[in-house]
Structure 1
Amino acid sequence: MGRAGRKTVLFDEDKPHNRVTQESHGFITQDGVKPSDFKKRARTDVQKYPSVSIKEKRVEIIEKSGGVFRIQTKEGKELYGSM
């Protein structure tokens, strides 16, 4: 969505589920890459788009009502979005 110029938020609390994994597999051109390196590259790529922002927060709730999404972070902050 960010590449298409749509305002996009990426949430990342920096607690990867694959933190004990030594190598990535199943991502074309990325076999054998350390997950931490893969993540660094991905963040660098998405930060090129001014429509993308990264929030270092944990999402606790996502609800959809009609065409609107309500996202609530662990701290209680709410964001709203649509497709």
Structure 2
Amino acid sequence: MGLLDDLKGKAQQVIGGNEQAIKDGIEKAGDFVDSKTGGKHADKIDAVQRGASDFVDKQNNRPTSDPVVEQPPVAGQPPVAGEPRQPGL
């Protein structure tokens, strides 16, 4: 077992049952850093907060957001930006 696997296992043990307290701590820490930087890096701080909260959720196999459901293209309409075009559409 590698060092990262060992750390992940320890993190899972600590997180178990304390998810909300940990997520509250993540939020408070991010808000503290944001206040100290005058909001200069708010977007980056928010991204780190989301990533850390998602990590906490994933440790208990909880979904972090609604599953993405892809809709098939409708004949006669152009594809949504970023989707490859299909022949005949």
Would you say same fold, with TM above 0.5?
no
Band of TM-score, shorter chain: 0.3 to 0.5
Structure holding more helix per residue: 2
TM-score for the superposition, normalised by structure 1 = 0.34
Structure holding more strand per residue: 1
Larger Rg over CA atoms: 2
Greater RCO (Cα-Cα under 8 Å, separation 6 or more): 1
